Structures are given as C-alpha cells and as structure tokens.
A and B are shown apart, each in its own frame.
Chain A
Amino acid sequence: MNDERRGQPLIDAVAGDEAPDSARRRLLKMAGAAVALTLAPGVTVLARDLVLKGGRKARSPVRYGLLIDANACKTGCDACVRACQDYNGLSHDPGPDNAQWIRKVTITDPGTGFTRSFPVMCQHCEDGACVDVCPTGASFRRPDGIVLVDKHRCIGCRYCLMACPYKARSFVGRVVTDQRPWAPRGKGTAEGCTMCVERVMAGKQPACVAACQKAGHKAMMFGNLHDPKSAIAVRLSKVATTTIRADLGMGPGVHYRGI
C-alpha cells in the first residue's frame, strides 16, 4: 500500500489498492446490481399482478359494504357496539388490551366546533394493508369483499395491527374461554370485525346494523354495493358520502355520510 493514500479514509475504504479507474467501474457495476436486486422483488409482484390481472381486478358481482350516516348517529348511543360485543362474545370493558371490533368515535373540528359521533370498524378494504402485509395470507379478503383473519394460519406477528390505518385490528392477549360457536377467537391471534359473516351468509344483517335499526336511529345500512338495485347502492348514488382516509387508496367498503 502506498503511504500517500493512507490519509484518505473514504476512497481508501472503497477503492482499495486498485487503480482508481477500475475501482470506480467496479463500484458502479456493483451499485447497479444492488439497485436491480433491491427492486426485483417488488417489480416481480407488481408485474405478476399486471400480467395476470391486466392491471385491474375483475369486478365481483357481490361486494358487501356499509353506509354509516353520521348525521343520524346519536351521540352517546352505543347500541351497535353492545350488539357486536354480545353477538361475538367480546368484553364490554374497554381495557387497553381488550379487542374493540367496533367503537364509537367522536370527531371535533377545533376551528369550527363541528362535531360528529359515529361507529368505526374494519372498513373491509378492496386493497387492505392488512391483507398485503400478512406474511401467511391469514389476513385475507373474500371474493364478496369481507376481510377476515383465518386464525388457522395466523402466527400472531401483529403486522396487520401495525399496518391498518383504522386501528380495526386487535390482538388477543388473554386466554379466551367463552367464545360464541359462530365467532371463534383465541389467544395469540389477530382479529377484527367479520361483518358478522355467519349472519350475512344466513341472509341477515350484521348485528350492529340490526341493533341500530332496532334503536330507531337508522344510521347504519348494509348491503351489496355492486348490485345497482340494492338499497345501499341506490342510497350511495343519491347522497354525498366519503370514506375514511380515502387518500390511502385502499378502497374501503364502509362509506360515511356527514363527516
């Protein structure tokens, strides 16, 4: 090694004893390879989607969704939350490690004082982050749009809890003994609103929607978003609605009016 090069730590560490030119060429080559290798996995997945699905998903004839009217939702009423807890066997106690598949959220605009209270649950997204990040595919979206956790596959890594923008996923941190036969849930797995899939499959409305109607508020509506004749689709075509964090482009299946 030459003595005069000793004082140049950066160049020295990279280029070593070679002629500067070949070293530079080699570095460039390597950087190129590194970039290619780094991008390869992502490009592969994207390319696969583009090739196999032509860049878009086929529109399924059924997409279950909800319409929540924050103007009709009554502050202080938690009939939907109670109904969910009762039907799915969840605790009524909102402790920090207890699951809340559905919760009442109150938002206030600090500038104008505008306030609304409404339920938030799993938004059953078209391209949910929870489905994307799940390493085992336990978090999945049914063809009819309901997003579920297949607890047979869930390993309890909680990546979906990290990824969900709606805080709709919970992790079961305790031994569960008093499950409902139609809502299996257990320690060590992630869970969230199932849109009461057993009820929906039996032709009924989700428990929260039924409870809201029973309470007389009619703030929640359930139905097939892709059936233009369904009540919910008709309503959605008439009133202005939005989805929470629409900017993320996940395509939530739960629409809100009045927020």
Chain B
Amino acid sequence: MHARAGVLAVLLVVLALGAVWATHQGPVPMPVIPRAPGHCVLPTASMRRTHMMLLRAVREEIVRHDARDTRFRITHCVACHVEHTASGQPIPVNAPGQFCATCHTYVGVHIDCFACHAAVPRNPMKFGGIGGSNSVQAAFRIPQALRGRFLSGGAGGGR
C-alpha cells in the first residue's frame, strides 16, 4: 500500500514539474506560414477550419465516384503551395518549414497524406499528358452536397 502511494506521489511530482517547465518555456511562437500566390479555393479562415474535412469528403468522391473535377483536390493544394529552391527545384510541401509541415508541427498533428500522395507537382505533359483534370486552371465545380456544408458553415469565420 505504501509502495503504491509512493509511486503515485512520484508520478504527480514529475507531472507537476513538467507543467511548470512547460509554462516557463512560454507560448510556442506562431509559425510563419509560407504564402502562395493568388487566391485559395476558399477564404483562408474557412480553409484553416475545414480543409481536413474537405479533403476527407472529397477523396471518397474522387476515388470511388470519380468526382475528379472538384476543386478540392490535394494535387491542387500541392500545385499552389509548393515553394521552390533558388535553382527552381520544388521543395516538398511536407518538408520542415514548408506549407503543410509548418502548421501541422505547430498544432502537433501527424498527417500521412504524403506517404502516398506526391508532395511536389509534376508537369503531366512530360509523361504523355493526362488532360485538364490535373491542372489547377481546370474548371472548378463544387459538388452540391458539399456547398452548404462547407461554404456557409465555418463558425465565426470565413464570411
């Protein structure tokens, strides 16, 4: 009985010390998120809140129901938000300091999108071309089902 109480006490002390140490570090500074040129498919505030839900909902539509002309494709995200080195080489969006990594590191969210998806865009024309569906300029169409759910929803933000 005494042994158990001892273990508990030690655990509590460790936890408390950890909390004190953490508060002394001060708040983690807001990350500087690289900006992409032009406008996103939705207002930034909406995107911040809903991009994960959008991607999740749309991925099902794309893979299973062939809704390939939606604007919420991860390939589009990558195409716009990729940064380039001085020599013009694209840097993967999930590399440290890049668009996806910056935020997800800050909020401590692990994503495995790029275990399968390409983290840099490629020019399909170099591979025999695959038409407009991969290009960012493709005609955007928001599925009716998603319109109400994601465009007006965003609590307190995104117009």
Contacts and interface: CB of A to CB of B under 8 A. Distances in A.
Interface in A170-204: 175-182, 184-189, 198-199, 201-204
A150 B61 CA distance: 11
Interface stretch (B16-24, B26-34, B118-126, B148-156): B118-126
Contact of A151 (B116, B119, B127, B133): B116
A150 B64 contact: yes
A202 B78 contact: no
B121 A181 contact: yes
Given A87-B128, A202-B133, A210-B128, 7 more contacts: A177-B119, A178-B118, A180-B127, A181-B122, A181-B124, A182-B130, A204-B128
Contacts of A189: 116
Interface of A: 83, 86-87, 140, 142, 148, 150-152, 175-182, 184-189, 198-199, 201-204, 207, 210
B68 A181 contact: no
Contacts of B79: 181
A185 B113 CA distance: 10
A175 B134 CA distance: 24
A11 to B, nearest CB: 54
A132 B7 CA distance: 52
A198 B68 contact: yes
A192 to B, nearest CB: 14
Given A204-B129, A210-B128, A150 B117 contact: no
B130 A199 contact: yes
Chain B interface size band reads 20 to 34
B37 to A, nearest CB: 19
B131 A179 contact: no
Interface string B102-120: 0000000000100111110
A148 B122 contact: no
Contacts of A178: 118
B63 A181 contact: no
Q: Which of A83, A152, A207 has the most CB of B within 10 A?
A: A152
A198 B117 contact: no
Nearest to B117: A184
A181 B118 contact: yes
Given A87-B128, A181-B134, A204-B129, A186 B68 contact: no
B78 A181 contact: yes
Contacts of B118: 178-181, 184
A187 B63 CA distance: 18
Nearest to A172: B116
Contact of A181 (B64, B75, B112): B75
A165 B91 CA distance: 41
Top 4 A-B pairs ranked by shortest CB distance? A202-B131, A186-B116, A186-B115, A184-B116
A140 B65 CA distance: 11
B156 to A, nearest CB: 30
B139 to A, nearest CB: 13
B125 to A, nearest CB: 12
A35 B83 CA distance: 64
Contacts of A180: 118, 122, 127
A201 B117 contact: no
B134 A199 contact: no
B59 interface: yes
B110 to A, nearest CB: 15
B131 A152 contact: no
Contacts of A142: 64, 66
Q: Which of B59, B116, B122 has the most CB of A within 10 A?
A: B116
